[in-house]
Amino acid sequence: MKRQSFEAEIVEYLAGEFFDGDLGAIAERTGYSKQQIDSWVKGKRKPRKATVRWILYSTIAPEFRVVAEFAPVDIHSENKIREHLRSVLGGHKGNAGVYSFYDSMCNVLYVGKASGSFLEEMYQQLRAPLGITFPKAVAHAPSKRWNVVKYVSAYEVPHVDHLDYPKHVESLVLRLSKPVGNKVLGSLKRSSPPKEE
């Protein structure tokens, strides 16, 4: 067996640290075959630098996934909110990410971050006050978000050690869209490496 190259050592470290040494799992995430990764780890071949960069990116950087995009919701009662959300979120209801609420004209009303569970966070925010003041002439003005939300979107944004990606994505979207239901437009900070001990 040949001695591993530095690039191969990086691949082996990533497989061990993020995939519990499962070469099949890192192969599935990166798009390379298990045989290719095995040949790098065993020192039979040396991965190219571009390959190592791709594997680093695929392993460490978050992959955003669409859970629901402009999914219609027709909520007529506060006790039906969870039912509608479960239907929209499917098997992703316990995941973390960023979500948004839209009115009947697809205007963004609110953008939020679900740290632990889409279902719980979205449920709480739909029950919150609308946050929009209507003229006195408007009779029966809606008072809660669920009264005016007609569409929802949700995107999985995984949390990665040392970097709160869901928070950064939420802050960026808030700064770009400035939804009427959000009071705080978020803050973006520079990333900094963790301190070595």
The CATH number assigned to the domain holding 164 equals 3.40.1440
Contact by Cβ (8 Å): 96, 114: yes
Q: What is the pLDDT of residue 188?
A: 59
Which pTM was predicted? 0.68
Confidence (pLDDT) at 191: 54
Instruction: Say what the pLDDT of residue 149 is.
Output: 94
Same domain, yes or no: 96 and 131: yes
Helices 49-60 and 6-19, axial angle in degrees (round to 10): 20
Shared-domain flag, residues 73 and 166? yes
Query: How far apart, in whole angstroms, are the C-alpha atoms of residue 176 and residue 105?
Result: 18
Looking at the structure, do residues 69 and 28 belong to the same domain, yes or no? no
Handedness of CA 25, 28, 29, 31 (dihedral sign): positive
Q: Alpha carbon 106 to chain centroid distance? A: 21
Tell me which residue range forms the domain holding 134: 65-177
* Selection from 155, 142, 154 nearest residue 78 by Cα: 142
DSSP classification of residue 101:
E
Task: Tell whether 41 and 70 lie within a shared domain.
Answer: no
- Does residue 54 sit in the same domain as residue 128? no
Q: Which two tokens stand for residue 37?
A: 């990764």
- Where the chain has pLDDT below 70, the residues are 1-3, 62, 159-163, 184-197
Candidates 115, 62, 68; CA nearest to 91 is: 68
Give the count of domains, the chain: 2
- Encoding tokens for residue 22? 């499962």
The three-state secondary structure class of 121 is helix
Q: Any idea what the Cα angle at residue 58 is, between residues 155 and 22, rounded to 5°?
A: 110
| 55, 71: one domain | no
**Statement to judge: residues 162 and 121 lie in one domain:** yes
